[in-house]
Amino acid sequence: MGTIPGSRLQIGGTSTIDVAGYFNDPDGDELSYMGASSNEAVATVAMEGSTATISAIAAGDAVITITASDGSASVSQGFRIDVPDGPEQATLVITRLLDEDRNQISDPTGISGTIFAVLDVQSNDETWTEIALTLNGETVTPMCRGTGGSSADVAVGPGLAAAGQVEVECRLQTNAVVGECMGMQLEPKYANGEYTLSAYLTTDEDERRDVVASQPIALKNHGFVQLAHMPGSASEVGTHTKGLTFHGGPNAEGNVNMFHACPVAYDGTVVGTMQLTTRHTDTARPNPAPVEGATTLRFRESRFGPDYPVKEAPFTWRAGTEWWNPNLGLENMPGETETWIVNDGSITDPNGRDVSATFRAGGEEAKLGPLHFDFKAPAAAEGAEVVIATSNSPTHSSWVSTTARYYRPSGGSVARRFRIKGMTEMGVGHVYGTTSMIAVGDCSVAGNRDSRASTAFTALDGYDNITLVSQLDEEDPILNGVADGGGVDCYVAEVQSLADRLGNPTGMSNRRIRTATTFGVDKTGPVISRLRPSEPLVLNEAALRFDVENPPIATGEDGSPMDTEVQVRAGATSGSNVYWTTTADVDGETVEINIDPTTGTDVWGNNYFGREIEHTVYARAFDEVGNTSGWVSFTFTRDHTDPVLSLSAVPSNFGATTAKSVSVTVAGTLSDATEIRRSFLSIHKGASCTATSEAMASTQVSGPVRRLHNGTNAIEFSEVFTVKQGGDVGEQSYCFFLTAEDDARDADDRADANTYSDQVATFSVMWPAGPPAPPPGPTFEFVPIDATDQTEGDAITELEVTEGSTTAMVYAVKLANVATAPTATAPVNVTITAPAGVNVIPQTVTFPRTATDGTTASDTAHVSVTTEHDLDITSNEDAVTHSATGYDAASLTVKSNDDDFEITVDTESIREDEAAEEVTVTVTAGTAPSATDATTVTVALGYPTDDAETTPAAPTEVAVEIAAGMTSGEAKVMVDALDDAVRDEANEAIELTVSGSNPAGVYYKPDRIMIMDDDPDIDLSVTVDNVATSEVGEGAGTVTVVITATADAPVNGTVNLALAVTGTATGAGTDYTITETTPVPITINARGTTGTATLTLTIVDDAAAVDAADETIVFDDADGAAAGGKTYTVKALTLTIKDNDS
């Protein structure tokens, strides 16, 4: 089962081992164990079960024997225990030396540069914390690291405990120098010569263990020159420099680039003089080549001094940037050129001997680099100008000369910014708004129009350093010498300073860089309003509509014109969910989007708008500079399909029956894409029926018209009709008719339903014969009389009369079903009774007729009918009753066709001084004016005439067309109401009338739109000694009164009020004195809402006037003030002087 391993124990130590794993019984018998020591003076063993405990007693060694027995046989196994006389010390050995490339050094007598000493470290019974090398017994602190490739492959240094065996590699820089290069000769840390290389380690108990054997070596380092750059305070690094650090900038305290040369000699050589030069190269590797014609870095110390002076210690050179210094033309280009500092020329000792070879191994000169410098100021080409661009790249298409037009703050999602076109030699580049500044001024200022460099540019307040168009207020672009409400005519921009990122400046005293033209700013986008539909609808119509307007800019002037097209998308405004994109034309201020079901194709080629699902269409409008209204959306559910009927049960015909009633069932499902709003099932007499057929009487069928709709889009119905025989005999046919409308609308939310209207079933019943009908009694019948030839027509039950006409309609009354004709001795006297509003002549007639009655037939009488004119548009139907003794009364229906019209408008009111609003004018007739020709009604819009200023430049009439055969028509018209600047005015109205309307003839019922007064526009409030009050005591003495004018909205331009001072109190020292000039001026700045005036008011105490009444001081500007095309009216302010006498 294996051999029990030996072990090493310290005196007093113990070790346990389970020996069961080292023995095995073939029969599987249980084993017992015994242990014995060959030298119990050194080590003992104690057994407990299969566990052996070994205890170390003294130094030496012993063999521990373990015997296992199954009771009949036994077997033994021994192992060695060593007990040392104290702990074993750690050891280390230098095994080899490696050069800088980690090749083994075979000759240690010519060592130079960096070497590595490889040590074999055996920890044994100690733990070590630090390793050090020594040279000639002097400790050096190299960098040491393990080389085992595992946990030992870590840095080794103070505080790191290590155990076991490890190989350690220690780095030693034999050519190290003492101190920092500051332009002086540096001393080597180790001069050339012979050394003894040794090493030691330190244990965790601070014990030192020296290397087993030292290594003799000889150092032979070659002298060299160390170069150092002390940069100035100005530097630049970033993506624009491709991650390279650039130095340079103008001559300033702290911004000086210094270069030090520090010779190092290992043989004691002392340097007297040396020289530094520079090279301007490309970036090729490994041998960068000089750039022909490029300015190189110079170390000239005076205007006419040498570029590269030879120097004695201190060996320090300065890169100057004085006005005469060639360095002002130096400019490295990121990633293209670079600068190198070179120690060339002779190196001499103090006696003038050339000692260059001592410091140039293999003749190689010391170099420092690559370095990058930019001392060159930006340059602007002839014709450089300020442009307004959407990109920082000068090659972008937006870098074009300005034109006298509007600019908006952004181009798409990118901000419009001011840039300088025609810049060259930018080096590390410049930063707009920081190193380079552009100002914006008023184009009307004379100095801003002058092209001479000696003329100063005048920037507007706050506009002396502008980088983005968004920083500017709105302004028009045209130079016309007229400042608007903002006090500015138009804009022009000019460069005020120009420098690169390192601060290299370009002088601007002899040139001007400006925009090519004046320009303006327009931030105001179009406004979309009156969306139709304005809320989600079920839509049948193939059009969406909205209004779009282009508001003026903040100065009150017109901005850039409206684009003639709006952008339309369906599904989403962007991305893969957009399934339809188009444009729609702007017609005046109205836009119509065609959403015909054949329009709008998805990615599979399907006509998307034909799908009866919910759709969302987005639209946005632009002006010509790209300001947008933002997206608006229309959400609608498409439904352009009529409801569908599926019948599951229809009645069958009934043969001969003796029953007095039959029951029939009509069942089925009526379905539609959207809710079915109305649905009716009706029963009619006859083998066929239409939507206008009269339903059966409810006395014969209970519920002849059934309502089916249930608020859903699927109606399952099963309707049972019980039909009574009533007066029907023999075979009688019956018909069912179903009508349905869904909830589809048009864009204006008017019903535009898809319909179902059809006969759905018929059946017949063979009713039994009833008793013979009684013979009809005597009564009356009516026939029309032709007005031209007095001929009679067929019998009628209804007579049509034109309402209010003076031409009567004539009909004839005849006797019917008369068994015995009336005679002169037995006449029939007929009374004709007409309701109010209906006139009949005669009102009584007698049969038989005679020639004097106007007829030749003895059984016929003529009756004339006229109707009175009313002021509504309802065609009335009235019954004219005919009665006589012994006769059944009979009535003739007289239908009075109303020729009047009614005008209605969909807007109840508008406010003064608000934007013009489109309204819909509808004209409705009582009856169709013409069955063959369209009728045009001209509706006049009567604006108030008490003040001419209230009549805007809006239409004063609108023509409404009523199509042939129709009873109504509509037209749209813009209405407006200007501010009439009349205070406390009653509300007025726009009257909608038709010329020639006559209450006694053809009458046009008028309508009106109320004009809601918005005056006054400005309220006055007051504080007295900082207290809001409208009273001041008679004994108050001198007080400070602040009057604040507050407009109800930002004013269009500068409003200058002049408040007259009136009231019952007398000024000039009688009741009060106002120190300031009156009228009191108050100014509200353009786009502002408030202005104030501060007065010093002295109240005079009239002590002699006992029980005097309170008096008033009234501040008012009765005429108001005009600004930006509007007259602002003022609400007067009253300050009451409270009497204090008693």
CB of 949 closer than 8 Å to CB of 977: no
Could you tell me where the beta strands, DSSP code E, fall in 372-468?
373-374, 379-389, 406-407, 410-411, 414-415, 417-424, 437-442
Can you read off the two tokens belonging to residue 668?
Answer: 């089925």
In terms of DSSP bridges, do strands 1018-1024 and 155-156 run parallel, antiparallel, or are they unpaired?
unpaired
| Residue 297 sits in the same domain as residue 429 | no
Query: Is the four-CA dihedral 948, 950, 956, 962 of positive or negative sign?
Result: negative
pLDDT, one tens digit per residue, over 271-315 is 999 999 999 999 999 899 999 989 999 999 999 999 999 999 999
Closest CA to 109 of 186, 33, 189, 194: 194
Non-local CB neighbours of 73 within 8 Å, separated by 6+ positions:
none
Residue 396 belongs to a domain? yes
Provide, rounded to the nearest whole percent, the portion of the chain with pLDDT above 90. 44
Do residues 763 and 652 lie in contact, with contact meaning Cβ atoms separated by under 8 Å? yes
Is the domain of 183 the same as that of 114?
Answer: yes
The verdict on 365 and 451 lying in the same domain is no
User: Which residue stretches of 439-484 are H helix?
Assistant: 446-449
Domain boundary among 197, 221, 245: 221
Bridge partner list, 1127: 1122
Mean local confidence (pLDDT), 754-761: 94
Model pTM?
Answer: 0.51
Task: Choose the final residue of a domain: 521, 555, 586.
Answer: 521
Q: How confident is the model at residue 716 (pLDDT cuts 50, 70, 90)?
A: very high
**Residue after which a domain boundary falls, among 521, 538, 561:** 521
DSSP state of 240: G
- Please give the pLDDT value at position 150: 34
**pLDDT tens sequence across 806-833:** 888 999 999 988 888 898 888 999 999 9
What's the rounded Cα separation, in Å, for the pair 56 and 62?
Answer: 10
pLDDT at residue 950 in the model: 47
Residue 219 pLDDT greater than 70, yes or no? yes
Residues 516, 531, single domain; the answer is no
Q: What is the CATH number of the domain that holds 46?
A: 2.60.40.1080
CATH for 993: 2.60.40.10
Let me know whether 961 and 1077 are in one domain. no
Domain count, the chain: 9
Q: What does the pLDDT look like over 379-404, one tens digit per residue?
A: 888 889 999 999 988 889 999 999 98
Q: Is residue 814 part of a domain?
A: yes
Task: Map residue 933 onto helix, strand or coil.
Answer: coil
Report the side by side order of strands in the sheet with 224-230. 224-230, 257-264, 316-319
- What is the mean pLDDT of the segment spanning 985-992? 78
Q: What CA dihedral angle connects 1099, 1105, 1106 and 1112, to 10 degrees? A: -50
Same domain, 991 and 927: yes
pLDDT given at position 6: 83
Write the CB contacts of 853 (distance below 8 Å, at least 6 apart in sequence): 845, 846, 861
| Paired tokens of 848 | 């038989």
Amino acid letter for position 778: P
Q: Is 328 helix (H, G, I), strand (E, B) or coil?
A: helix
Q: Are 707 and 680 in contact (CB under 8 A)?
A: yes
Q: Note if the bond before 231 is cis, omega within 30 degrees.
A: no
CB atoms near residue 404 (< 10 Å): 16
Claim to verify: residue 384 and residue 511 sit in the same structural domain? yes
CA proximity to 460, closest of 432, 420, 488: 488
Q: For residue 772, is it within any domain?
A: no
**187, pLDDT greater than 50:** yes
Judge if 180 and 240 occupy the same domain: no
The distance from CA 970 to its chain's CA centroid, rounded to whole angstroms, is: 39
625-666 per-position pLDDT tens digit: 989 999 999 888 888 889 999 999 999 999 999 899 999 999
**Which residue would you say has higher pLDDT here, 575 or 652?**
652
CB of 100 closer than 8 Å to CB of 220: no
Containing structural domain, residue 46: 7-83
Structure tokens at 693: 């057929």
Nearest-10 Cα torsion for 371, 377, 378, 384: -160
- Predicted pLDDT of residue 163: 47
State the pLDDT at residue 389.
Answer: 93
Neighbours of 911 (CB within 10 A): 15
Residue 804 φ then ψ, to 5°:
75, 0
Question: pLDDT class for 158, splitting at 50, 70, 90?
Answer: very low
301 Cβ contact partners less than 8 Å away, ≥ 6 residues apart: 309, 318, 320
Please give the helix or strand (H or E) that residue 876 lies within, else none: strand 876-883
For residues 365 and 392, membership in a common domain is answered with no
828 token code pair: 């029939």
CA 1118 distance to own-chain centroid: 46
> In 3D, which of 636, 584, 639 has the Cα closest to residue 610?
639
Q: How would residue 87 be classed by pLDDT, with cut points 50, 70 and 90?
A: confident
Residue 896 falls inside a structural domain: no
Residue 301 carries which side chain, given as an amino acid letter?
E
* pLDDT for the residue numbered 153: 40
356 and 384, same domain (yes or no): no
Residue 1090 counted as domain residue: yes
Does residue 1019 surpass a pLDDT of 50? yes
203 and 139 together in one domain: yes
Instruction: Average the pLDDT over 32-59 and give the result.
Output: 93
Per residue, the 3-state secondary structure of 620-658, as one string, reads: EEEECCCCECCCEEEEEEECCCCCEEEEEECCCCEEECC
The verdict on residue 889 lying in a domain is no
d(CA 69, CA 388): 105
Q: Where do we find the tokens 């040369």?
A: 261
Does some domain include residue 883? Answer: no
CA 663, CA 702: separation in Å to the nearest integer?
11
Q: 498 and 605: one domain?
A: no
> What single-letter DSSP state applies at residue 358?
H
- Average pLDDT over the chain reads 87
SS3 at position 63: strand
Residue 247 is part of a domain; what is its CATH number?
2.60.40
Residue 1028 resides in a domain: yes
Within 10 A of 956 (CB to CB), how many other CB atoms are there?
12
459-495 pLDDT, tens digit per residue, is: 999 999 999 999 999 999 988 866 665 688 999 999 9
